[in-house]
Amino acid sequence: MPTRTATPSPYVDLSRAEWSALRRGVPPTRAPGATPGTTPLPLTADEVEALRGLGDVIDLDEVRDVYLPLSRLLNLYVGATHGLRNALNTFLGDGPGGGGAQPGTPFVIGVAGSVAVGKSTVSRLLQALLARRPEHPHVALVTTDGFLYPNAELERRGLMRRKGFPESYDRRALTRFVADVKSGLPEVSAPVYSHLAYDIVPGERLVVRRPDILVVEGLNVLQPALPGKDGRTRLALSDHFDFSVYVDARTEDIRRWYLERFRALRATAFRDPASYFRTYTRVSEAEALAYARDTWATVNEPNLRQNIVPTRGRATLVLHKAPDHTVRRIRLRKL
pLDDT in tens, 116-159: 999 999 999 999 999 988 777 899 999 999 999 999 999 999 99
Instruction: Tell me what the mean pLDDT of segment 297-325 comes to.
Output: 97
Q: Is the pLDDT of residue 216 over 50?
A: yes
Residue 221 known to bind ligand: no
Decide which of 31 and 254 is more confident.
254
Instruction: Tell me what the mean pLDDT of segment 15-24 comes to.
Output: 90
Residue 327 known to bind ligand: no
Percentage of residues in the chain having pLDDT higher than 90: 72
Decide which of 143 and 93 is more confident.
143
Which phi-psi region, left, alpha or beta, contains residue 118 (left: φ > 0; alpha: ψ -120 to 50)?
left
Architecture per CATH, 11-27+41-88+105-333:
3-Layer(aba) Sandwich (3.40)
Neighbours of 76 (CB within 10 A): 11
Q: Is the pLDDT of residue 5 over 70?
A: no
Instruction: Tell me what the mean pLDDT of segment 33-53 comes to.
Output: 69
Long-range contacts of 86-90, Cβ-Cβ distance < 8 Å, separation of 24 or more: none
Instruction: Tell me what the mean pLDDT of segment 159-179 comes to.
Output: 96
Q: In the chain, which residue ranges form alpha helices assigned H by DSSP?
A: 16-20, 45-51, 60-62, 68-91, 119-131, 151-157, 171-182, 251-266, 285-295, 301-303
Separation between Cα atoms, residue 174 and residue 179, nearest integer Å:
9
pTM of the model: 0.90
Neighbours of 310 (CB within 10 A): 13
Instruction: Tell me what the mean pLDDT of segment 308-330 comes to.
Output: 97
Residue 113 known to bind ligand: yes
Residue 114 known to bind ligand: yes
Decide which of 102 and 26 is more confident.
102
Residue 218 known to bind ligand: no
pLDDT class of 233 with cuts at 50, 70, 90 = confident
CB 58 within 8 A of CB 52: yes
Instruction: Tell me the residue type at 258.
Output: Y
Question: How far is Cα of residue 275 from the mean position of the Cα atoms in its chain?
Answer: 25
Domain boundaries, the chain: 11-27+41-88+105-333
Handedness of CA 299, 146, 260, 329 (dihedral sign): positive
Q: Is the pLDDT of residue 34 over 70?
A: no
Q: Is the pLDDT of residue 102 over 70?
A: no
Q: Is the pLDDT of residue 28 over 50?
A: no
Instruction: Tell me the residue type at 65.
Output: D
Predicted pLDDT of residue 137: 84
Q: What's the pLDDT tens digit per position in 183-199?
A: 999 999 999 999 999 99
Residue 247 known to bind ligand: no
pLDDT class of 300 with cuts at 50, 70, 90 = very high
Q: Is the pLDDT of residue 83 over 70?
A: yes
- Maximum mean pLDDT: which of 23-32, 44-53, 177-186, 218-227: 177-186
